[in-house]
Amino acid sequence: MKEYIKLIDENLDKFLQVQYPSEIFESMRYSVLAGGKRLRPIMCLEACRIFGGNIEDAIPTACAIEMLHAQSLIHDDLPCMDNDDFRRGKPTNHKVYGEATAVLAGDALLSFAPQIIIQKSKNLSAETKVKLLEEYCIAAGAYGLIAGQVVDIDSEGKEISAETLEFIHTHKTADLFKFALKAGAIVAGASEAQIQAMEDFGQKLGFAFQICDDILDETSTFEELGKTLGKDKEAHKPTYTAIFGLEKAREEVICLLDQACAIIAEQGMKSEIFSEIIAGIKERASSVK
Amino acid sequence: MKEYIKLIDENLDKFLQVQYPSEIFESMRYSVLAGGKRLRPIMCLEACRIFGGNIEDAIPTACAIEMLHAQSLIHDDLPCMDNDDFRRGKPTNHKVYGEATAVLAGDALLSFAPQIIIQKSKNLSAETKVKLLEEYCIAAGAYGLIAGQVVDIDSEGKEISAETLEFIHTHKTADLFKFALKAGAIVAGASEAQIQAMEDFGQKLGFAFQICDDILDETSTFEELGKTLGKDKEAHKPTYTAIFGLEKAREEVICLLDQACAIIAEQGMKSEIFSEIIAGIKERASSVK
C-alpha cells in the first residue's frame, strides 16, 4: 500500500510541473498533492497487477483518476455548491486561490488528466488509450460524476426515495471506483468478464465507502476528518443515515463489503491490497460511537 | 456556409439529447444551441474538405469544438469571472440555471466533447482519434484556453505589455482557431506541413478576430452584439485598443488578414469559405464609427 502511494505521489508531482502562468498550476497542485488516501489510484494499480499487467503502464491512468477526483472536490467545495471551507484539514482551493482560479483549476484538471493518459502511457496501444479515454469521459461527465452531483444538489432539503439516493451514490462515488478498477483491468488486457467483475466490485465498494462517509459525517469530529462535519445533516442533504438510521447504515456497509469479497473470491483473485481496503472501510464504519 | 451551419446545428442537437437528470442536459443545450456564428466548427469542416477529407468524418470533432467553445463562455460569464448577464442577446447560463448548474454544465461539456469525438467518429482510426484528443486536451487546458483566461483575469486593472496581451490572445482565442483547423486537417490525413500551415493560418485569423472583438466591444451597442458592451474598458481589461488605440487596431486586423490570405495562397488552397470568413472579419473591423 505504502509503495503504491509513494509511486502515485511521486508521479503526480512529476506530471504537474509548474509553468507559466504559475498560479493555475500551483492551484492544481495544491489540491492534487494535498494528500488523501489515494484509494482510487491504488485500486487502479492493483487491478492492473492482479490481471497480470505491468503497474508502470497503469501509472498515468491512476494519476489521471486522482486528478479527476481532485477536480470534483475543488468544484464541489465552491460557494455555489457545498460551500466548504476545509478539506483534509486545509483551507479549500477557492479559499486559498479565489473562486475564479478554483473554477479554472478544476477545468484545467479535467483536460490535464486525459492528456496525461495520452502522453505518458508509453506502452499502450492507441486502441487501449481510446478505450481508457472513453471510460474517463463517461465517468467524469453528465453520465457519471456530474449526474450524481446534480441530483445531490437538487435533493437538498427534500425527502428523497431510496432509489434517488442510490442514483446519487452510484454516480457521485461508485462511478469513479468502477472506472479506477476497470481502467487497471483494461491496461492489463483483462477479459470482458474480468472487466465486468471489476465494475461489480467497484459498485459494492463505492457504495460501502459512501455509506461509511455518511456515518462519519454524522459521528466524527473536525479533528478526526479534517473537514467541517455534520454539514450534510444541517443542509438537509440526502444521506443513507438520514433515510435508514445509523444502525442500518452500519449493517449495510458490512453486507456490501461481504458481497465485494465474494466477487473477488469468485474470480479466484488474491489481493492483500483489496483486503486491506475492505478491512479499512469495515473498521471505520464499525468505530461508530 | 449555410450548409455547414445546418450540418453543425443538426448534429449538435442530435448529440446533446436530454436524459436524466434533465436539468444538466438542458443547461448544456441552452448554451451550445444558442446560435452563434459557428465559426470554429465551420473552419474545422472546411480544413477537412480542402485537404481531401470526408466532411462527415469531421462532424463529431467540429461539434466537440463548438461544445468546448460554449464551455469556455459559460465559465467565463460566471460571477466570479467576467460576471456577464447577457450573451448573444440571451441571459447567460448561470442567470437561467443558477451558478451551480452552470459550473457543472461547463464541466460536463469538457468531458462530453471528447466523448463525442471517440464515440461518433466512425471512420477514424484509433491513432487519429488519439491525435485529435491530444490536441483537444492541450487546447482546452492549462496550456491553452485556461492559460489565456488566467492571465486575462490577472491583468485586469493592470498596465500590461504587448507580449502579455499577445499571450492572452494566443491562448484565449487563437488556440481554439488553430485546434479547429488542425483537427480538420488531421481528420483528412493531411501532411505535417499542411497541419503546420493550418496552425499558422489559425494564429493569424484568431488574432485578427480577437482584435476585431476588442474594437467592437468599444464601439458597438448592446442591440448590435447581444451582450453588455464597454465592459472590458470599465473593468480595465487588457485589450488591443486600450494599448494601441482604435486606428492601429484596425490596421493590425487588415495586416493579419492579409498574412492569413498569403498562407492560404502559398499552400495553393482555394476556399470560398475561408475567403468569406476573412472578408467578414475585415468588414466588421472596418465598420468602426
Cα–Cα distance between B1 and A238 in angstroms, integer? Answer: 50
Q: What is the pLDDT of residue A288?
A: 62
Structural domains of chain B, count: 1
Q: Which three cell numbers stand for residue A64?
A: 489521471
We report the CATH number of the domain holding residue A230 as 1.10.600.10
Q: What is the pLDDT of residues B29-45, one digit of tens each?
A: 999 999 889 999 999 99
Cα–Cα distance between A286 and A284 in angstroms, integer? Answer: 5
Q: Which three cell numbers stand for residue B51?
A: 485537404
Burial of B159 (0-12, 13-18, 19+ CB in 10 A): exposed
Q: What is the pLDDT of residue A231?
A: 66
- Report the gap between the CA of A15 and the closest CA in chain B (Å): 13
Sequence-distant (6+) residues with CB within 8 A of A216 are A224, A225, A229, A284
pTM score of the predicted model: 0.95
Q: Could you tell me which residues are beta bridge partners of residue A86?
A: A91
| Cβ separation B150–A24 shorter than 8 A | yes
Q: What is the pLDDT of residue A38?
A: 97
Count Cα atoms within 13 angstroms, Cβ side, for A183: 36
Query: Is the peptide bond between B114 and the residue preceding it cis, with omega within 30 degrees of 0?
Result: no
Nearest CA in chain A to B18: A142
CB atoms closer than 10 angstroms to residue B234: 9
- Report the gap between the CA of A70 and the closest CA in chain B (Å): 13
Which one of A115, A133, A142 has the shortest CB-CB distance to B118? A133
Which one of A100, A114, A150 has the shortest CB-CB distance to B114? A114
| Cβ separation B110–A108 shorter than 8 A | no
- Residue of A128, A130, A134 best to disrupt the B interface, most CBs of B under 10 A: A130
Q: What is the pLDDT along chain A (289 residues), one digit of tens a residue?
A: 899 999 999 999 999 999 999 999 999 999 999 988 999 999 999 999 999 999 999 999 999 999 999 999 999 999 999 999 999 889 999 999 999 999 999 999 999 999 999 999 989 999 999 999 999 999 999 999 999 999 999 998 898 999 999 999 999 999 999 999 999 999 999 999 999 999 999 999 999 999 999 999 888 766 666 666 666 666 677 899 989 999 999 999 999 999 999 999 998 988 999 999 999 999 988 876 5
Region B228-245 average pLDDT: 77
- Residue of B74, B103, B170, B172 best to disrupt the A interface, most CBs of A under 10 A: B103
Size of interface A-B (CB pairs under 8 A): 149
Query: Cα dihedral sign for B64, B66, B70, B76?
Result: positive
Grid cell 484509433 in the structure block, residue: B126
Q: What is the pLDDT of residue A157?
A: 87
Q: Which three cell numbers stand for residue A75?
A: 468544484
Query: Is the peptide bond between A79 and the residue preceding it cis, with omega within 30 degrees of 0?
Result: no
For A254, the domain range is: 2-286
| Cβ separation B23–A154 shorter than 8 A | yes
Going from the C-alpha of B75 to that of each of A273, B15, B69, B163, B240, the distances in angstroms are 40, 21, 10, 25, 23
Which one of A20, A107, A125 has the shortest CB-CB distance to B146? A107
| Cβ separation B104–A75 shorter than 8 A | yes
Q: Which three cell numbers stand for residue B176?
A: 481554439
Q: What is the pLDDT of residue B257?
A: 97
Burial of A126 (0-12, 13-18, 19+ CB in 10 A): middle
Q: What is the pLDDT of residues B112-130, one digit of tens each?
A: 999 999 999 989 999 999 9
Sequence-distant (6+) residues with CB within 8 A of B253 are B208, B211, B212, B215, B281, B282, B285
Name residue B185's amino acid: A
Q: What is the pLDDT of residue A113?
A: 98
Q: What is the pLDDT of residues B166-220, one digit of tens each?
A: 999 999 999 999 999 999 999 999 999 999 999 999 999 999 999 999 999 888 7
Q: Could you tell me which residues are beta bridge partners of residue A91?
A: A86
Cα–Cα distance between A30 and A26 in angstroms, integer? Answer: 6
| Cβ separation B137–A112 shorter than 8 A | yes
- Report the gap between the CA of A201 and the closest CA in chain B (Å): 25
Contact residues, chain A, for B81 at CB < 8 Å: 100, 103
| Cβ separation A111–B153 shorter than 8 A | no
Contact residues, chain B, for A106 at CB < 8 Å: 107
Name residue B129's amino acid: K
Count Cα atoms within 13 angstroms, Cβ side, for B24: 26
Q: What is the pLDDT of residues B134-170, one digit of tens each?
A: 999 999 999 999 999 999 999 988 889 999 999 999 9
pLDDT > 60? residue B289: no
Q: What is the pLDDT of residues B53-66, one digit of tens each?
A: 999 999 999 999 99
Cα–Cα distance between A11 and A116 in angstroms, integer? Answer: 11
Name residue A65's amino acid: I
- Show the 3-state SS of chain B: CHHHHHHHHHHHHHHCCCCCCHHHHHHHHHHHCCCCCCHHHHHHHHHHHHCCCCHHHHHHHHHHHHHHHHHHHHHHCCCCCCCCCEECCEECHHHHHCHHHHHHHHHHHHHHHHHHHHHHCCCCCHHHHHHHHHHHHHHHCCCCHHHHHHHHHHHCCCCCCHHHHHHHHHHHHHHHHHHHHHHHHHHCCCCHHHHHHHHHHHHHHHHHHHHHHHHHHHHCCHHHHCCCCCHHHHCCCCCHHHHHHHHHHHHHHHHHHHHHHHHHHHCCCCCHHHHHHHHHHHHHHHCCC
pLDDT band at B235 (very low <50, low <70, confident <90, very high): low
Q: What is the pLDDT of residue A122?
A: 86
pLDDT > 90? residue B269: no
Contact residues, chain B, for A130 at CB < 8 Å: 118, 126, 129-130, 133
Which one of A24, A125, A129 has the shortest CB-CB distance to B142? A24
